[in-house]
Chains A and B, each alone.
Chain A
Amino acid sequence: MRLFNAVLRHPSGRIGAAIILLFLVVAALGAIGLTPHDPLKQYVIDRLKPPSGTYWFGTDLLGRDTFSRLMLGIGESFLVAFASVAAAAAAGTVIGLFAAWWGHLWDGILMRIMDVLLAFPAILLALLIVAIEGPGVATSITAIGIVYTPIFARVVRAPALALKAREFVEAARTFGSSQPYILTRHLLLNLVAPLTVQITLALAWALLTEAGLSFLGLGTQPPAPSLGVMLAESKSMMTRAPWLMVFPGLTIMLAILGFNLFGDALRDILDPRTQERPA
């Protein structure tokens, strides 16, 4: 609750939170079917109509309402982003914690694997997974999840190493506290702040990566809309129907801006260096 108020007091936190909230509401409405038109229905006589009172963001080549499709697309893209970041954060945290805690050989092995993964572009990995599993939402989530895991492993490992050497961890050992207890209570609990910030920022990148994968046809498959799919469909009609490209493009931009502003605000709030010390 205190954190929530602090975000609202932070100027860029306020804007970021408002944008994210708006998108979540729109995505939720889309998911329960409250769209102005059926996003998949083809209004054949209204093909390629520019934005108007009836079709707010215009229609595409098949006569589908862009706004309704966008509502669904936001939901689709957010689903992939949230799911992949959740997977990456969980896996990365566990790997980073164990690397820091066991140290030595395990640290070397785990972190070198992470380095190799970090060198992989998401697109390349997605191609590999597509080759095995076929394209789809699950492919996007897996690919983005794997590619973002090393980022979390690194974000967790460095402060965990520092925490491991702190006296309160040493004190815990003198009580005979179990390893799981030390790892969760003493290490993980103190890592909540950097993790929260990293998750918010990773969401922004994941959104962009998802759009890229779908654009290339590796992620969400048409006719289901996602932001990337919509961009891909619009590219051949860029000059005839620019609204098809402008609105999904703006949506992606705004969403990433929202997450970044929100993440910046969280970083400012949670960073002990920027916190005012109690007198």
Chain B
Amino acid sequence: MTPLLSIRDLSVGFGRDPKANEVVKGVSFDLAAGETLAIVGESGSGKSVTALSINRLVDFGGGRITGGSIALQRSDGSILDVTKADESALVRVRGSDIGMIFQEPMTSLNPVHTVGAQIEEAFRLNRGLNGAAATHAAKEALERVRIPDAAQRLKYYPHQLSGGMRQRVMIAMVIASNPRLLIADEPTTALDVTVQAQIMALLAELRSELGMSMIFITHDIGLVAGIADQIMVMQNGVAVEQGALDAVLDNPQHDYTRHLLKAVPHFNGGRAVRSDGSRVAGATPVVTVDNLVVRFPAARGVFARSAGAVHAVDGVSFDLVPGETLAIVGESGSGKSTTARAILGLVGTTRGRIDKASGRSPRPVQMVFQDPFASLNPRLNVEGLLAEPAIAAGERRDAKLRERMTFLLTRVGLPEDALTRYPHQFSGGQRQRLCIARALMLNPEVVVLDEAVSALDVSVQARVLDLLIDLQREFGLAYLFISHDMAVVERIAHRIAVMYAGQLVEIGAAASVLSDPQHSYTKRLIAAVPAIERRKQVFMVDGTQVPSLVRPNGYEPPTAQWRDAGPDHRVRLETI
């Protein structure tokens, strides 16, 4: 039997001289109908370029296929060599044979058309359906991707849907053409874990329903376990290891695969939490947050009538003692970042108190942001970047300051001569180290880490986490660690606070919360963490949506009732 897709010695290059700038160097694989191949690698490994070459979308990004062949079996049984096909043939292939979903569903959908219109368009172009038939088909497609109230949702615009819903709409559009091959390029990376689990389950179900083949691209080797038949690990444009899923995961042959498997933060259900620096009873907190409320006005209509308020943070209280890490976990929109921003004074608070210890530093709370590319001014060199907090605190740019800069640079593992370089000369991990050094310039007591390692590749992530733990011990820092990644949280947190829909639902010692979650949301969050060990577990698809946070003016939520679930472990009682 001929495979659906057969790639031999594929090479792809970029730039004026594609031969000299190859990012994919001789990749070969076969994919049989109905099979799923997972391509795993870190950023820059060539995994996306390989996938984009299969439907020749790589041409639009300036890439050129410099060698090899891509034989695709079309639905009529003929074999097409994609590398030699002309554009008109490729358009047909993209429309009907190969479907593709991307990482960010918001940028893949057209914001000025309803999702219904966009799905109908897919049916019109690929199946020739018109009018009521197209609308009906679009509704069926939405039902097929398990969107509740499909008929209503057709009239929604992309921005009215959540990230997970948008990705489902994208999938609905792609399966409209009934493709034989679905390429999914990091389809869940931008989504929350619980939503990610939903999308993965959906993809697995659709694959068996429709008999599609799938190429699943991801940086997270833990994620592929549940869905792939074959796995290909890429590094620097070369497939370093490929084979059947179980063989590769259980018995990796190549060093890089072993390294990846080791670097992936494994979630151990609370058994791998830190044992050092646990909370000293009676220590004076460096930050106390008492009944914090942050609301944003929600206006509607031409005259901006106040239509209530977004209750971003509602009655959050916690404290943070020196040397401890409190992780705030929750989905996007749960209010965890807003809480951090309120502590730093970046957003105004509606009610509540935030007390910060005024000890050794003029600015006791500093912050490290998620995106190391956006949080450094590209036009300033490292010296200018590091000097900024000190200048803001009224210090002068003298030899003493330079000394502290070089000390911190070497401490975070950057070369001393980095002072004269600019941010674009550093990698993502190095930039994040730079941000950490900058946050430490004023010798703060508390560092807020807002998804500080989420944008980094797994192996880099592990090293930055180690650095953070070392720095915490050395400088006696307290961390407020905001993350959606439970495995990372398990490695760094002493205590965990779980937020859901603007409210704290569970807080306590990390080991206790992770091993014995009490609140139903915490349970859901922990069950959704992908893990190689749990690869056989099957997720059920459900359509639960996060409740709307917009409340009418004057609405006050009922006072929270708490119960103790152990020493240092409190759970909010759930109202039914």
Chain A positions within 8 Å of B, measured between CB atoms, are 166-168, 170-178, 181, 185-186, 189-190, 192, 276, 278-279
Residue of B nearest to A279 (CB): B21
With a cutoff of 8 Å between Cβ atoms, the chain B residues found around residue A172 in the complex are: 388, 392
Interface 1/0 per residue, B356-369 and A, CB below 8 Å: 00000011011101
A-B contact pairs, 30 of them (CB 8 A): A166-B374, A167-B370, A167-B374, A167-B375, A170-B346, A170-B375, A171-B367, A171-B369, A172-B392, A173-B346, A174-B344, A174-B345, A174-B366, A174-B367, A175-B363, A175-B366, A175-B388, A175-B389, A175-B392, A175-B393, A176-B362, A177-B388, A177-B392, A178-B392, A189-B377, A189-B379, A190-B377, A190-B378, A192-B379, A278-B425
- Hey, which chain A residues are within 8 Å of B379, CB to CB? 189-190, 192
Q: Give A170's nearest chain B residue, CB to CB.
A: B346
Which residues of chain A are within 8 angstroms of B15 by Cβ–Cβ distance?
276
Do A171 and B363 have beta carbons less than 8 Å apart?
A: no
A167 near B391 with CB under 8 A, answer no
Q: How far is the CA of A279 from the CA of B345 in the complex (A)?
A: 38
Does B113 sit at the interface, judged by CB under 8 A?
Answer: no
Judged by a CB distance under 8 angstroms, whether B57 is at the interface is: no
Bound-complex Cα distance A131 to B36 (A)? 80
Q: Does B352 contact A (CB under 8 A)?
A: no
| A167 to B432 CA separation, bound complex (whole angstroms) | 13
Which listed residue, A167, A175, A186, A278, touches B369 by the CB 8 Å rule? A167
Q: Taking CB as reference atom, which chain B residue is nearest A186?
A: B377
| Interface check B424, CB cutoff 8 A | yes
A178 to B367, CA, bound (A): 17
- The answer to whether B67 has its CB under 8 Å from any CB of chain A is no
Shortest CB distance A184–B (Å): 11
* B346 surroundings in chain A (CB, below 8 A): 170, 173-174
The prevalent SS among residues of A at the interface is: helix
A278–B392 touching, CB < 8 Å: no
Q: Which residues of A contact B392 (CB under 8 A)?
A: 172, 175-178, 181
B516 in contact (CB, < 8 A) = no
The answer to the question of B312 belonging to the interface, with a C-beta cut-off of 8 Å to chain A, is: no
B-side interface mostly = loop
Query: How distant is the Cα of A172 from the Cα of B392 in the complex, in angstroms?
Result: 9
B374 contacts across to A, CB distance below 8 A: 166-168
Nearest CB of A to B22, in Å: 12
Query: Contact at A278–B424, with CB atoms within 8 Å?
Result: yes
11 more CB-based (< 8 A) A-B contacts, given A181-B392, A185-B380, A189-B377: A167-B371, A171-B367, A174-B344, A174-B365, A175-B388, A175-B393, A176-B363, A176-B389, A176-B393, A177-B389, A181-B391
Give the CA-CA distance A177 to B380 in the complex, in Å. 15
A170 to B346, CA, bound (A): 8
A175–B442 CB distance below 8 A: yes
Asked if B384 CB lies within 8 Å of chain A CBs, one says: yes
B376 contacts A by Cβ under 8 Å? yes
B424 vs chain A, min Cβ distance (A)? 6
Q: How far is the CA of A172 from the CA of B371 in the complex (A)?
A: 15
Alpha-carbon gap, A173 to B21, bound state (A): 41
Using CB atoms, name the residue of chain A closest to B366.
Answer: A174
> Could you tell me the distance between the alpha carbons of A176 and B389 in the complex, rounded to whole angstroms?
7
Q: How far is the CA of A167 from the CA of B375 in the complex (A)?
A: 5
Which residues of B lie under 8 Å from residue A178 when comparing CB positions?
392
Distance in angstroms between the alpha carbons of A181 and B377 in the assembled complex: 13
Determine the chain B residues whose CB is within 8 A of the CB of A189 once the complex forms: 377, 379-380
A90 to B525, CA, bound (A): 54
Q: How far is the CA of A257 from the CA of B290 in the complex (A)?
A: 66
Residue of B whose beta carbon sits closest to that of A191: B379
- Which residues of A sit under 8 angstroms from B377, Cβ to Cβ? 168, 185-186, 189-190
